[in-house]
Amino acid sequence: MKNNIIYILLLSMTFFACKKNEMLPYISNDNVYLHYLDKDGNQDTTTLSYSFAYRPGLAQDTIWVPIIVTGPRVSHSRQFSLSIVDSVTTAIKGTHYEPLKPFYTLPADSGTLKIPIILKNTDEALANKSVRLGFSTIGGGDFQANLPLYLRSKKVLFSNRLEKPSWWIYWESQLGEYGRLKHQLFLISSGTVDLVDMSKPNAYLEIPRTLYYIENFRVFLKDPAAWILKNPDKGFVFTPKTDGSKDYDFYNTSSPSKRYTVKYFSLVNGYFFIDENGKQIII
């Protein structure tokens, strides 16, 4: 009998404890923060990097900022704010990025959202320097800004600049000395961002593919006009310069300020792309 009474008391305590927990209201302030995670599932606080050089035909591109909400989902839409952090930003509004909206709307019954930030590739200086854009969720609309800053902030470093890739040294006998304009033209003509790195295991399996891309690049350099005719969807054009010379400009119609000079040399009766140092690009 005594054991039964103890058992009943324990059941009663458990029941009321569960009942009490079920009735606890959610009392925390709702917040929004940036949902960037590293490979271990922890908040990723590193700087994002982006280069237009790998997509040379683009005048602008969009990065999507992942937003997540703390607190329950609700049956109506809500608004929150995303702001530029001036203290870490070197990018110029209107020149390097599109202005942010005053508010963004989280749909009803939703706990996540992706916000577009538009980066611009119209500043020729981006070929020689990088700019930084910092942004953060802030208090405003239907949400607070009570979470730590590292959860609410992110930086993106972007440019139109290329650096010598590690694989170039393995193919220098084919490609010649590295140059940024040569690298850029390789990206345009090949449709790939890299060649095989011969230091990798089983790299020999990728040699035929690499030789194919190099040969395509060689053909492109010899006759860019023919390449344009074969690739009309790429958006590139070949137009004579207006300075009275026999030289041409090669550029993408979506980014006409980014032009490559194709110079005529009468001694060989031929045309050559000119690199950033004024030299002929030959492979």
Left (φ > 0), alpha (ψ -120 to 50) or beta: where does 94 sit?
A: left
Q: Which CATH superfamily is domain 31-159 in?
A: CalX-beta domain (2.60.40.2030)
Q: What is the pLDDT of residue 12?
A: 53
Kindly state the tokens that stand for 270: 């031929």
Q: Give start and end residues of each alpha helix (H) in the chain.
A: 2-22, 149-152, 172-175, 180-190, 207-222, 224-230
Q: Is the pLDDT of residue 117 over 60?
A: yes
C-beta of residue 35 within 8 angstroms of C-beta of residue 112: yes
Q: Is the pLDDT of residue 283 over 80?
A: yes
What is the C-alpha separation between 32 and 140, in angstroms, rounded? 10
Least confident of 6-20, 22-36, 58-72: 6-20
- Per residue in 69-103, pLDDT (tens digit) is 988 899 999 999 999 999 999 999 999 999 999 99
What is the C-alpha separation between 225 and 231, in angstroms, rounded? 10
Report in angstroms the alpha-carbon separations of 208 from 35, 76, 114, 200. Answer: 41, 57, 40, 15
Characterize 87-107 residue by residue with b for buried, 16 or more Cβ atoms within 10 angstroms of its Cβ, and e for exposed.
eebebeeeebbeebeeebebe
For residue 23, name the pLDDT band (cuts at 50, 70, 90): very low
Which residue in the block uniquely carries the two structure tokens 């953060």?
A: 136
Q: What is the pLDDT of residue 9?
A: 47
Question: Once rounded to an integer, what is the mean pLDDT over residues 110-122?
Answer: 94
Whole-number mean pLDDT of the chain?
A: 86
What is the C-alpha separation between 167 and 169, in angstroms, rounded? 6
| Pairing state between β 48-51 and 153-159 | parallel
Domain ranges of the chain: 31-159, 166-273
* One-letter identity of residue 22: E
- Per residue in 233-276, pLDDT (tens digit) is 989 999 999 888 899 999 999 888 888 999 999 888 999 999 98
- Per residue in 178-209, pLDDT (tens digit) is 998 999 999 999 877 788 878 778 888 889 98
For residue 38, name the pLDDT band (cuts at 50, 70, 90): confident
pTM of the full structure? 0.66
